[in-house]
Structures are given as C-alpha cells and as structure tokens.
Amino acid sequence: MPSDLYAQALTRLDDAAEHSKAHPETVQRLRQPKQLLEVSIPLRMDDGSLRIFTGYRSRHDDARGPAKGGIRFHQSVTKNEVKSLAFWMTFKCAVAGLPFGGGKGGVIVNPKELSLAEIERLSRAYVRAVGRNIGPDTDVPAPDVYTNAQIMAWMMDEFSVMVGKRTPAVITGKPVALGGSLGRDDATGRGAYYQLKELESIRDLEPAKTTIAIQGFGNAGQHFASLAHADGYKVVAVSDSRGGVHDPEGLDIPTILEIKQSKGRVDGGKETEITNEMLLELDVDVLVPAALEGVITEDNAKDIKAKIVIELANGPTTPAADAILEKARTMVVPDILANSGGVTVSYFEWTQNREGWYWKLETVHERLAEIMKREFRAVYDKHESRSISMRTAAYALALDRLADAHEATGTKSDFAR
C-alpha cells in the first residue's frame, strides 16, 4: 500500500467533518489511533533456527465498543498500513451501526515459506505478544489476508490458555465447531448483494436487463456473483489475478465456479478472455471491484462506463478517481458500506459467543439483510438530502455516530468557564 495511505484516510475524515455535527474535538481524537503496538516475535523454525518476526496491532477507536478488525500475515505489512486499516474499520463499524470501534493487526511474513507447524507456532506467538491488548471487551481480531478459520482457532485457543478459561468471543471467523457463526463464509458478498437489492428499487433496475462485471473472483466476488446470477442479473464478466472471462450475453456462474475450483483460475476459453484492466472499462450497468486497493485511478476513471460502482474490495478507488466519477454522476457505494456484511456477521458471532446461544442460518441471513438494507437507506438518504457523494455521506453518518459516543462525556463548552 502507498506510504501516504493514512494521509488519504484523513482526507475522508476531513470531507466528512464538513457534513457532520461532530465537534472539532471528536475529529481531533479520530486523527490518531488510541493505541499502536509493535511487537517482536521470536520463532523457532522446523530446522532448529531462530527467526524474529515483527507484528503490529492498532486499536484506532473504542468509544462505541471494543475494537474490531482482522489480522493479516503478509510480507508487505507495514505499521502505516495497519494504522490506516484500523481507521477504516472504525468508520465501517459505525456506518453499519455496530457497537465496535476499529482495529487491525498483522505480521511481516510470507506464510507460503512456512510449514503448517511454523504457522501455528507463529499464530500462537503473536497472540502471546499482543494478548494483554486484546479481549472480548477490548479488541476482537478476525481473519484477513492469508489468515483463516484454522489460524483463528489456534489464536483463540492460545488466548484461552493465557487467561485460564475458554474464551471464544476473543476472536471471530472461527470454525463453526469452535463457536464460529453460520453464514460467515458468504457474509461480505451477501451483504453487498442485499445493498444491490436496495439499489434495484431505488434505480428501478430490472435484473434480467442489468449487466454486472466483477473484478476479483475470490470469496466475496464469488458469493456476490452467485447470488446476483441466481436472482436473474446478467453477470457478463469476472476476473481473478490471472485474467478473466467476458460474455455480453451473460456467464453461467455455476460453471465458472466449477472451473475456478478445478483449475485454480477463471477460464472460459480463448474467445472469452479479458484482462483485469479491460474489465473495469466494460460498458456495463454495475461494476464491482472486489480484488485489490487502488485499481480505479485518475488514469482510468474517465473510461469507467458503469453508472454504479459497488466497492467490494477495500479502497479500490483513489481520491483523485473519486472526483472524476462524481463529476460523471457515477454512484459509488463505498467500501465501508458495501463490504460491511463481513464485520456484521462477525458481530453476530461475537454476540452468540457472549450469549452461548447459536442462531440458525436463516436467522443470520434475516438479521444481516435487515442491517444492510437499513444502513444503506440511511446513507442514501444523507447522500440525497445533502447532495453529496455516497462515500462522503457514509463517512459523515459514521462520524455523527462516533460523535454521539465521544461527546457524551463532554466537550469544551461543558468545561469552559
């Protein structure tokens, strides 16, 4: 990620402040994380050697509840990246109306170079290093890049050993057998799909006549594509890191999924091949960037033809590109809203762990749909009433909610003599 990532994040805060009731003190508080931890993690490797890994955990804000955010294992993890992602999680949780703040963590490591046993030892060592700074009432991690349910299980188990009791609510994204929630696997894609259904009524979309292109055919992109296809939408293009496929008449998504699982890549034959760059510029109704950050830039934004962009990835649109899309009257459903289904079902998991009462899949889907539709409407109403972009509206709404929490303890006007 770019070194100025946190500066970019703060521009979102400043833009939102112009359309929010937040006191300047609240904005001032949110400009820096509450805690930014760097830890050294000594690890004994399978060959007997010792390696030292660097890990991070940022708790950006916890005024509305414990921090919430993933842990990533990646060689390009930086302190600035973790700090920025925690900031975005604060706003994502607030815009979804969840009683969480924002957190994020990571370890600088290429997990592909480690054995499974080494990854387990690293996972447990990371928890020991940050264990005093996480917990069900403090900071609740989850899986992220190159971490998964098994790694969360190891981390939960290690924390439970540290505190002397089983503590499933310390981490979400766990296997269902260890306290994970049903419905977590497709939550991000499903949440975005529910928001598409709201757009359907607002924009009078007819599924059979509405074309969709999806850049990124990982977990979120696959589930979004499957739900949209099953609902009658015409998904005409999908891609992964190795390329994509395009058919103006619509793709058979179940077949594409089978090919992806068998070959490990999206493939539809030479006649349907398309690059990731070409996919972004297709003449479609809805574009869904679901892969990497920064793919819609100042250089290609003018060539985006879709009138609706649903950001399933984190940070796929740069600030400069945002301005171009807004001028073109392209509706962008921002990432902090569009992909908030994942953290919402993480909240459901945390709640079930605390209650010791586990929900049916239908209940998870119903409650996810309720929150996604309600908060989408709240952002859309602010967008309409203020004549501002959906992104600014989402950040402004989140900032209003953060202000309520921060300012409940008083501001300058309460203390000045």
Catalytic residues: 104
Contact 197, 215 (CB under 8 A): no
DSSP letter for each residue of 384-399: HHHT--HHHHHHHHHH
Contact 12, 395 (CB under 8 A): yes
Residue 391's Cβ-side half-sphere holds a number of Cα atoms within 13 Å equal to: 28
**Helix, coil or strand: residue 124:** helix
| Buried b or exposed e, range 120-148, using 16+ CB within 10 angstroms | bbbbbbbbebbbebbbbeebbbbbbebbe
Tokens (6 digits) for 96: 């979804």
Mark out the alpha helices in 281-416 (DSSP H runs).
319-327, 335-338, 341-355, 361-386, 390-407, 412-415
**Helix, coil or strand: residue 177:** helix
DSSP letter for each residue of 259-279: HHHHHSS----GGGEE-HHHH
Instruction: Name every residue whose Cβ is closer than 8 Å to that of residue 121 and which is 6 or more positions away in sequence.
Output: 43, 44
Instruction: Give the separation between CA 166 and CA 182, rounded to whole angstroms.
Output: 20
Contact 30, 410 (CB under 8 A): no
Q: Is 371 exposed, middle or buried (0-12, 13-18, 19+ CB in 10 A)?
A: buried
